[in-house]
A = this chain, B = another copy of it.
């Protein structure tokens, strides 16, 4: 690899993104439970307190509604807060602020006030944290008008989405999958902001489109590699943004492959996969050779034991099987 690339992890990429934002804009600050002294529940913000001090790396009490609401208020009054909620399950405590305030104030005020706020949270299963720490509610949040919802699945996006989100005048939720934090790879030393609209084709293919995001991307890519060995070329689309959805990229891919598998760790019923399926049939019904297929989380509060947890969400092997069944129905 070129000298301009360096090894990093997803965790470090997020940290670098926060550091960059803090350096670039004095209005930016990070606020959340244990982001400071403790270094962040998932060690994302380790070292930032020492660098920026406790005003701007602001530890909060356990008060999700209070400090998320305070983030909204600070955004209304000129700041650019990054609020960290440790885990999406805890964000339910702040839902009033997110849905009833952040998402409505711009419209309800007739466009007088914007809420340029970023809320980061960890999401997803895979660490055996059981039913109050493992859910994937990003697709659920994507139902709410007034919000933008991002799911960085790569180092580039972990590094680059934050600044774009902070520049957006709207409240943006960024979901970081817990299994990604340790993901290693190389990143351009000069890596910076990336656009936050638009999906990305992470692997081109002709036989089917696999639409996914976040923690499921690497599983889909692994499945695609395995499928290639069977002669099935899967195109893998990383949604990147769950709200808004990039219909154009999806439809263009589906028009080429005529078959689509949507993979999503969230619960199946009423999940984001259903929305994608519905849009595909609305916009590309006559180009489909088969109904869009969904492979989603099993509808169960995530159980603790590994064999049950693994079985609760799509895995490379089940993705491969679903893709194969779609392309070569028996």
Contacts and interface: CB of A to CB of B under 8 A. Distances in A.
B275 A272 contact: no
Contacts of A292: 278, 281-282
The copy count of this chain in the complex is 2
A124 interface: no
A92 interface: yes
Interface stretch (A143-151, A218-226, A248-256): A143-151
Contacts of A96: 90, 92-93
B143 A301 contact: no
A214 B243 CA distance: 27
A108 B309 CA distance: 13
Given A131-B107, A282-B293, A303-B107, A269 B142 contact: yes
Contact of A270 (B104, B272, B299): B272
Contacts of A291: 281-282, 285
B300 A145 contact: yes
Nearest to A286: B291
Interface in A263-288: 267, 269-275, 277-278, 281-282, 285
B142 A270 contact: yes
Contacts of A269: 142-143, 145, 243, 245, 275
A179 interface: no
A271 B108 contact: no
Q: How large is the interface on A (under 10, 10 to 19, 20 to 34, 35 or more residues)?
A: 35 or more
B271 A143 contact: yes
Contact of A89 (B93, B100, B108, B303): B100
Contacts of A277: 274, 277-278, 281-282
16 contacts: A65-B93, A92-B100, A104-B131, A104-B301, A107-B131, A107-B303, A108-B132, A140-B143, A140-B270, A145-B267, A243-B269, A270-B270, A273-B278, A278-B292, A281-B281, A281-B292
A294 interface: yes
Interface of A: 65, 89-90, 92-93, 95-96, 99-100, 103-104, 107-108, 130-132, 139-140, 142-146, 243, 245, 267, 269-275, 277-278, 281-282, 285, 290-294, 299-301, 303
A273 to B, nearest CB: 7
A140 B144 CA distance: 10
A275 B272 CA distance: 9
B146 A301 contact: yes
